[in-house]
A and B are shown apart, each in its own frame.
Chain A
Amino acid sequence: GENVEQHPSTLSVQEGDSAVIKCTYSDSASNYFPWYKQELGKRPQLIIDIRSNVGEKKDQRIAVTLNKTAKHFSLHITETQPEDSAVYFCAPHQAGTALIFGKGTTLSVSS
């Protein structure tokens, strides 16, 4: 099965700084790479995803980059705001398998 590692486990930044969270995976057959955000007491929600035929995708302040050779993908948040404070989960997977979440990264943005 897929072995997923996220780093760092916690990240504290000042408002306006950038944040980067990395996810490494073991299964080379993985071809879908989403990031989910979970605010305290809420459900996980997709914030950005990328498929294996694309190296980078951007949506306003959020971007995801994929390195299939090295089997990792990263979430980049620029100009962080307090409302970005949450737990972020990566969930790389392939057809025929369910989403398996990483252990999560707790991002704290202080103003």
Chain B
Amino acid sequence: EPEVTQTPSHQVTQMGQEVILRCVPISNHLYFYWYRQILGQKVEFLVSFYNNEISEKSEIFDDQFSVERPDGSNFTLKIRSTKLEDSAMYFCASTLYRIDEAFFGQGTRLTVV
């Protein structure tokens, strides 16, 4: 069964460093998302991406964040200068249609020290 895959599964980085989280959505899906989940809290929406551009973003997704689809398969989230409060699980998701079941990757646990 097709699934969304994310790498790495765990990333430890120093405060102020840049990190890139990578995702491979399901191949025929058209809509891509990033979410984050701080330990024990709800899943928070960051950004959605369609047709090679951002279609919606939350207040969390400020200038330190960016997304890119560098080729036909990868979807990346870059955090330019990490802060301690960026420590969380980051989930990538994709859907075939705009309103549809979202398939989530297994997540990348980011720890900023």
Question: Which of B55, B91, B98 sits near A44, CB closer than 8 Å?
Answer: B91
**Total residue contacts A-B, CB cutoff 8 A:** 51
Q: Are A103 and B42 within 8 A (Cβ)?
A: yes
Chain A positions within 8 Å of B42 at CB level: 89, 101-104
Instruction: Give the docked Cα–Cα distance between A45 and B35 (Å).
Output: 14
> Which residues of A pack against B, CB within 8 Å?
31-32, 34, 36, 38, 42-46, 49, 89, 93-104
For residue A6, which residue of chain B has the nearest CB? B42
A31, A99, A100 — most chain B CB neighbours (10 Å): A99
Q: With a CB–CB cut-off of 8 A, which chain B residues contact A100?
A: 45
For B33, the chain A residues whose CB sits under 8 A away are: 98-99
B104: chain A residues at CB < 8 Å are 43-45
Given A32-B99, A99-B33, A43-B105 contact (CB < 8 Å): yes
Knowing A43-B106, A45-B104, say if A89 contacts B43 (CB, 8 Å): yes
B91 / chain A contacts, CB cutoff of 8 Å: 43-44
- Give the residue name and chain of the A residue nearest to B97 (CB): A95
Q: Does B25 contact A (CB under 8 A)?
A: no
> In the docked arrangement, what's the CA distance between A104 and B41, Å?
8
Q: Is the CB of B43 within 8 A of A98?
A: no
In the bound complex, residues from chain A placing their C-beta under 8 Å from that of B101 are 34, 46, 49
For window 65-113 of B, CB contacts with A under 8 Å fall at 91, 93, 98-99, 101-102, 104-107
Residue with the highest number of chain B CB atoms closer than 10 Å, among A32, A95, A98, A100: A98
* A57–chain B nearest beta-carbon distance, Å: 14
Chain B residue with Cβ nearest A51: B99
Is A95 touching B99 in the complex (CB atoms < 8 A)?
yes
